[in-house]
């Protein structure tokens, strides 16, 4: 491939980096604690050293994104994940003893975590730093080499990340490749030991198809329509505050943002008033602070509004600023369930609010659609909310709030069904990117093997005992 003049240079570099990582991983399949900690420490130092440059690059890619938002939503969770992994890594790496059946006594059994090898990460644009390096934290902690493909919608950030990673890591440890959809397709077709993708369900299907010929295991963090469900005894003001927290940050461009609200019919006036008032407190007369990432994404969101049937009630809070692609928040009251707004993941500052007759109808509405990446339940108490959760299946849940389960290092983050497969974060991520290798030591006696072959009286006596249990 290196001699094929028709192969684009970025693909040549991609193949070279992958080959170097795979060779290094096979030559050193066991990675000690000190090496893993060193890599995590260098990653932290890299982020802190280039913090301002990262903030500036992400701001340029969005066109407008408050520096504080990038620090709080991208950098802070990444630093926290690194800190958590460094503190817990020694215990994660320990062998885990497992019980042994009486038939095999006096033997021992345990599980030893082993690095998988080379992990590929295809990162999205909405949280470009955290969703590129967050999975890398877990993969590096597990002893792997990591190759990252950032989104082409963040060119300034992607180029900067490639440079600073190259300055901080050997190319066979951690590396970044940049390019468009063609490179992404070649990336996903490489025989990684594990591939992580964060993005839309439609693209996630293509990633899984590209990985299938190599039998590459995948973790797909996708999306979907994450509901916020209010029980009849919920506090509308408190729910409104939490829902808008999850909806307005990053202008709704968050995979676990509340996509729509289901509320009791008689609560709808109080809830919409609370949502309107709280949004006015946050936005005033201006737009959402963060811009929509591209003209194409902005046009899609405006198209969802344009396609609403005549007579649909829409409340606009704040104002649009088309020149900067910053949008007002819109509440869409009782949209048609078959509208594009209710079929597609919104991924922007538009919030449908739908009335239901009771909590059972709300849960049936959610159950009748693809399983969401997240769900949010509001009730008078945590105990009541947990009771409502019983029939609900979602990637993750926050009770009495939104998106906060994602920030917990020891809660796995992942989807279910159309919203994804696999999960990472903390110990779940360490195990996701490790081969949990079983080991069995029969000891000096190895009594089971003495029963056969051929199996005789001793083996049959053991069999009769087994049947009696």
Six-digit token pair at 183?
A: 């490179």
Distance of alpha carbon 303 from alpha carbon 284, whole angstroms? 25
Distance of alpha carbon 248 from alpha carbon 253, whole angstroms? 9
Whether 255 is catalytic is yes
**Helix H segments across 94-191?**
130-141, 155-168, 181-188
- Annotated catalytic residue, options 255, 288, 345, 431: 255
Q: 139 CB contacts (<8 Å, ≥6 apart)?
A: 119, 121, 146, 194, 196, 429, 433
Distance of alpha carbon 192 from alpha carbon 116, whole angstroms? 9
Distance of alpha carbon 184 from alpha carbon 11, whole angstroms? 10
- Annotated catalytic residue, options 173, 188, 221, 431: 221
Q: 163 CB contacts (<8 Å, ≥6 apart)?
A: none
Q: How many CB atoms lie within 10 A of CB 340?
A: 16
Distance of alpha carbon 190 from alpha carbon 14, whole angstroms? 9
Closest CA to 403 of 421, 364, 376, 441: 376
Q: Considering only CA atoms, give the Rg of the chain.
A: 25
Distance of alpha carbon 5 from alpha carbon 31, whole angstroms? 37
Q: What are phi and psi of 219, to 5 degrees?
A: -115, 120
Closest CA to 326 of 255, 272, 250: 250
Closest CA to 429 of 89, 161, 158, 199: 89
What DSSP state is assigned to residue 339?
S
Widest pairwise Cα distance in the chain: 87
Which of helix, strand or coil describes residue 420?
strand
Six-digit token pair at 17?
A: 């980096």
Q: 320 CB contacts (<8 Å, ≥6 apart)?
A: 287, 326, 327, 328
β 118-122/145-149 pair status? parallel
Six-digit token pair at 461?
A: 């006596």
E-assigned strand segments in 282-349: 313-317, 329-333
Catalytic residues: 221, 255
């Amino acid at each position: 491939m290196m001699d094929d003049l028709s192969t684009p240079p970025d693909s040549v570099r991609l193949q070279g980096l992958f080959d170097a990582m795979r060779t290094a991983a096979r030559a050193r399949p066991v990675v000690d604690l000190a090496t893993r900690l060193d890599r995590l420490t260098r990653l932290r130092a890299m982020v802190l050293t280039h913090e301002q440059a990262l903030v500036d690059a992400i701001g340029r890619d969005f066109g407008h994104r408050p520096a504080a938002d990038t620090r709080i939503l991208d950098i802070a969770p990444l630093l926290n994940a690194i800190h958590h992994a460094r503190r817990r890594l020694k215990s994660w790496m320990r062998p885990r003893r497992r019980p042994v059946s009486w038939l095999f006594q006096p033997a021992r059994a345990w599980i030893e975590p082993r690095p998988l090898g080379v992990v590929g990460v295809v990162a999205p644009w909405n949280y470009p730093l955290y969703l590129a390096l967050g999975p890398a934290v877990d993969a590096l902690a597990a002893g792997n080499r990591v190759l990252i493909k950032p989104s082409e919608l963040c060119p300034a950030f992607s180029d900067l990340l490639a440079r600073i990673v190259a300055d901080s890591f050997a190319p066979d440890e951690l590396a970044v490749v940049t390019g468009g959809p063609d490179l992404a397709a070649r990336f996903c077709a490489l025989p990684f030991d594990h591939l992580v993708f964060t993005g839309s369900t439609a693209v996630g299907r293509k990633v899984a198809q590209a990985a299938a010929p190599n039998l590459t295991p995948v973790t797909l963090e996708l999306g979907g329509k994450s509901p916020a469900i209010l029980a009849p005894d919920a506090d509308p003001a408190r729910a409104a505050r939490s829902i808008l927290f999850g909806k307005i940050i990053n202008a709704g461009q968050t995979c676990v943002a509340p996509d729509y609200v289901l509320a009791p019919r008689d609560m709808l006036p109080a809830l919409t008033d609370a949502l309107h008032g709280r949004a006015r407190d946050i936005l005033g007369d201006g737009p959402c602070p963060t811009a929509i990432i591209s003209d194409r994404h902005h046009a899609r969101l405006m198209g969802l509004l344009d396609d609403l049937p005549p007579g649909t009630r829409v409340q606009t809070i704040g104002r649009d600023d088309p020149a900067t692609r910053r949008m007002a928040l819109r509440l869409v009251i009782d949209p048609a369930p078959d509208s594009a707004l209710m079929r597609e993941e919104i991924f922007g500052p538009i919030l449908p609010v739908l009335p239901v007759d009771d909590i059972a109808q709300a849960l049936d509405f959610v159950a009748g659609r693809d399983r969401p990446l997240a769900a949010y339940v509001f009730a008078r108490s945590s105990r009541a909310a947990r009771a409502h959760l019983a029939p609900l299946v979602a990637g993750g849940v926050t009770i009495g709030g939104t998106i906060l389960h994602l920030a917990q290092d020891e809660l796995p983050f992942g989807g279910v069904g159309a919203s994804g497969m696999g999960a990472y974060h903390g110990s779940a991520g360490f195990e996701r990117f490790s081969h949990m290798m079983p080991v069995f030591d029969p000891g000096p006696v190895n009594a089971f093997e003495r029963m056969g072959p051929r199996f005789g009286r001793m083996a049959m006596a053991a069999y009769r005992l087994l049947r009696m249990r």
